[in-house]
A and B are shown apart, each in its own frame.
Chain A
């Protein structure tokens, strides 16, 4: 005669059946919620039942099973653990995979439901302070001639069922609060258990004297025509700013693009991201973080300081352009003194004034000062070629050395070339000018004259402070 099987198996089956039955009968019962919250207790209940059974058998002198929990049951346990962990992970608002941006893939399971909300309006002063609190979605903020603030937009809610979406919509009203001069926009997206599935797109128009402070979880900001300061911090945001009167602070943990155009105040970028585009900035520019894409700086009027991944530099002004990409940096028409330290990056600097201090770990260097008189230069690389093109009329005192490689010189006998082991040195002066110091440990040094096709800007107005700093 077979021993009676375990009591637990049937009980578990009954429990699972009951849960699904309740789900089928009352649609408000959330099966995923239930599993997400109570799955560890299923394990405890199972273990307790099994333990009671084993004790019972022992006391009643019935035959004992070899294992309280069989191999097949362990497989089921692992399955429950995985399912439980996955479902509860889904419900947490800020897990690692959400931060890693995987959520779009997961969200794709549900269907999109769109809800619009009535536009909200409040009268304000001429220069209100707008605060957007922890917000997920895209925001378009525009300054204009109106007297008050207007918020309109819609919500996109991803859910498997229409009911869920409607409930989420009701739970997350968009509110507009006024506290003195401060206007707060609240989306209440954290009220739902499934926070990620809701995206609120906002269109806000307000008086152009306004300032902005926004914190966001994910979504793009599009800001234009504000006279006040703009402060945005977000987990993941693309930011496009245009025509901002005050200073700009942007702090992102992820970002595809930060673009600022026509900013009157200082621009301060921090955090992680991809591309940066700064154009026509009148204030100081500070970039500090790791931006993996390309950084483009154009028409900057005040000192610039960039500390990014492998590259650090500071420049006094950029009338032209600086482009920093992976593996290369190009500066065109910049006002020094310039300091640049970089690793594994090719450097091209054209048309620069004042002194240049360049430290490259590995990478080729190409320099065309363009302006006369040339500034003092200290150029060092561990491995890479240095090419320096000087205007015909340049005056300078040259010291160049390479430990492995040769030197070619177009300035003739004024510079004396000496071979040293496998390397070479070049020394001498042409006229009375500043020290040009070129050192590479491994690579060729070329000192040549600017050819006809290359433009030479002679004694421009930008050179006046330069001369002062040289002598």
Chain B
């Protein structure tokens, strides 16, 4: 179950990054802060999600299960 949580965090990372990216570009568009100055936030977000992923991965689970074949996970 814990492993599943780690999988969840991993799966959520992409969308979270996407939202961050969109947000940064949106505030650039609105003329508040330029993306050139805010991009390090993306690195921070990646780092944070990795950290959370690490925190929720149970001890002894060195490697997550191998990725399923392309076309999405099998049921």
Identify the A interface with B (CB < 8 A): 1-6, 37, 39-51, 54-55, 57-58, 63-70, 73-74, 77, 81, 84-85, 88
Contacts and interface: CB of A to CB of B under 8 A. Distances in A.
B14 A43 contact: no
Given A5-B72, A54-B11, A63-B75, A46 B67 contact: no
14 contacts: A2-B72, A3-B74, A3-B75, A6-B72, A37-B29, A40-B23, A40-B24, A45-B22, A50-B18, A57-B11, A64-B11, A66-B73, A68-B12, A77-B21
B11 A81 contact: no
Interface of B is mostly: helix
A71 to B, nearest CB: 10
Contacts of B56: none
Contact of B18 (A43, A55, A63): A43
A40 B29 contact: yes
B15 A50 contact: yes
Given A2-B71, A42-B22, A50 B14 contact: yes
A47 B42 CA distance: 14
Contacts of B10: 66-68
Q: 10 nearest interchain CB pairs?
A: A69-B14, A43-B22, A47-B18, A68-B14, A44-B22, A47-B19, A40-B25, A40-B26, A51-B15, A50-B15
Interface string B15-41: 111111111111011000000000000
Identify which of A2, A4, A68 gathers the most chain B CB atoms within 10 Å of its CB: A68
Contact of A65 (B11, B23, B26): B11
Interface of B: 4, 7-8, 10-26, 28-29, 67-68, 71-75
Contact of A1 (B13, B20, B68, B75): B75
Contacts of B28: 40
A3 B73 contact: yes
B15 A47 contact: yes
A5 B70 CA distance: 11
B19 A51 contact: yes
Given A2-B75, A81-B21, A85-B25, 15 more contacts: A3-B72, A3-B73, A37-B29, A40-B24, A40-B26, A43-B19, A43-B22, A47-B15, A48-B19, A64-B7, A66-B68, A68-B14, A68-B15, A69-B18, A74-B14
A63 B8 CA distance: 10
Nearest to B65: A66
Contacts of B15: 46-51, 54, 68-69
B62 to A, nearest CB: 17
Given A65-B11, A67-B11, A68-B14, A44 B26 contact: yes
A1 B73 CA distance: 10
Contacts of A51: 12, 15-16, 19
B22 to A, nearest CB: 3
Nearest to A63: B73
Contacts of A42: 22
A88 B29 contact: yes
Contacts of B8: 54, 58, 64
A400 B36 CA distance: 58
A65 B12 contact: no
B21 A65 contact: no
B34 to A, nearest CB: 12
Contacts of B16: 47, 51, 68
A70 B73 CA distance: 12
A1 to B, nearest CB: 6
B11 A39 contact: no
Contacts of A68: 10-16
A65 B29 contact: no
A67 B16 CA distance: 11
A93 to B, nearest CB: 13
Contacts of A49: 15
Contacts of A84: 25
Contacts of A40: 22-26, 28-29
Nearest to A4: B72
Contacts of B7: 64, 66
A39 B26 CA distance: 8
Contacts of B21: 43, 47, 77, 81
B73 A65 contact: yes
Nearest to B19: A47
A42 B11 CA distance: 20
Contacts of B11: 54, 57-58, 64-68
Contacts of A1: 75
A375 B43 CA distance: 69
